[in-house]
């Protein structure tokens, strides 16, 4: 069974999507539609922008979404998923790819999400850190015993977890994690505490937009970050998506469940190849590949 997986923030690069634009009239139409929906020329930033311009959350998130969803669309009949999943932001790309969301609705939600997250980041000094070489339960325990707000945010693969919270708490937790034997506990260059309680204002703002958006029965199940199991019910998908901003991304558990349910090949759709690497670390026998036009 084929599982298609969609990347999140951090996979962006200058020139992303340009080959799609130049080689497909369908892609060109969708990029033009995106410029109209967003009200600014995102294609120009994607194709020619600097790394700093692309790093802005309000640009990064729609740019990665566009690269992923337009690639899936251009693949045409070659795109035949038995199941899908997306890492954080990538979950919305996956929901467009499996026909739960219309392209323009997905783009509006992504942009709303980006702006709401940016606002939440500016409200409280917060950050994230990558923790390597420590068991999940030890990381969770240390976070729980650290004063302030710090939680496990991304379960990327065994031995690789990202924590998230207020600046002081994340710093203190990193010291404790190193003392406990972590190979690394490294502060990440991000603007805020994604997938933590500090994203509550963004979750509330996005919830209203999600509730007002039409979700239809998908073409195949999605394994969502919050629940990790196959979901096909539109109202359940909607609910999981609302809680995604303040809940951890359970990527390890989602991939394990997809394999349990019969996934034999994982195809990454969008910029970068981070997710293929994570899948291999979760299960070295899983077959992975990069999607092509």
Active site residues: 88, 195
**Residues β-bridged to residue 152:** 163
Collect all residues with Cβ–Cβ distance below 8 Å to 74 and sequence separation of at least 6. Answer: 20, 24, 26, 27, 293
Q: Which two tokens stand for residue 218?
A: 């998908």
CA–CA separation, 263 vs 260, rounded Å?
7
Nearest CA-CA partner of 199 in 126, 146, 93, 145 = 126
Query: CA-CA-CA-CA torsion for 240, 247, 73, 61, nearest 10 degrees?
Result: 140
**Residues β-bridged to residue 164:** 128, 151
- Spell out the long-range contacts of 173-180 with Cβ–Cβ below 8 A and sequence spacing 24 or more: 173/129, 173/142, 173/143, 173/146, 174/129, 174/131, 176/142, 176/145, 176/146, 177/131, 177/134, 177/139, 177/142, 180/134, 180/138, 180/142
Nearest CA-CA partner of 285 in 257, 259, 258 = 259
23 burial level (CB within 10 Å; 0-12, 13-18, 19+): exposed
Which 3 state secondary structure label does DSSP give 185? Answer: strand
From residue 75, give the alpha-carbon distance in Å to each of 42, 153, 245, 287.
22, 32, 30, 20
Q: Which two tokens stand for residue 68?
A: 């992923």
Q: Which two tokens stand for residue 45?
A: 């930033």
């Amino acid at each position: 069974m084929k599982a298609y997986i969609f990347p999140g923030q951090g996979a962006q690069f200058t020139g992303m999507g340009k080959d799609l634009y130049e080689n497909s009239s369908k892609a060109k139409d969708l990029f033009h539609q995106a410029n109209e929906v967003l009200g600014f020329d995102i294609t120009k930033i994607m194709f020619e922008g600097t790394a700093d311009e692309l790093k802005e959350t309000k640009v990064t998130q729609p740019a990665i979404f566009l690269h992923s969803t337009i690639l899936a669309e251009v693949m045409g009949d070659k795109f035949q998923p038995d199941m899908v999943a997306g890492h954080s932001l990538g979950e919305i790309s996956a929901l467009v790819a499996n026909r739960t969301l219309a392209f323009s609705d997905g783009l509006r939600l992504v942009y709303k999400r980006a702006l709401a997250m940016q606002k939440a980041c500016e409200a409280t000094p917060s950050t994230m850190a990558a923790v390597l070489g420590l068991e999940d339960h030890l990381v969770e325990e240390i976070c729980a015993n650290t004063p302030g707000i710090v939680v496990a945010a991304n379960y990327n693969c065994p031995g690789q977890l990202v924590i998230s919270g207020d600046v002081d708490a994340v710093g203190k937790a990193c010291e404790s994690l190193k003392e406990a034997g972590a190979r690394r506990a490294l502060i990440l260059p991000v603007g805020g505490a994604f997938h933590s309680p500090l994203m509550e204002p963004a979750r509330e703002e996005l919830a209203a937009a999600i509730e007002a958006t039409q979700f239809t029965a998908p073409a195949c199940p999605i394994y969502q970050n919050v629940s990790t199991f196959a979901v096909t019910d539109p109202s359940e998908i909607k609910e999981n998506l609302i809680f995604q901003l303040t809940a951890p991304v359970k990527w390890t558990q989602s991939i394990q469940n997809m394999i349990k349910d019969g996934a034999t090949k994982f195809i990454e759709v969008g910029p970068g190849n981070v997710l293929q690497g994570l899948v291999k670390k979760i299960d070295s026998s899983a077959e992975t590949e990069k999607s092509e036009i």
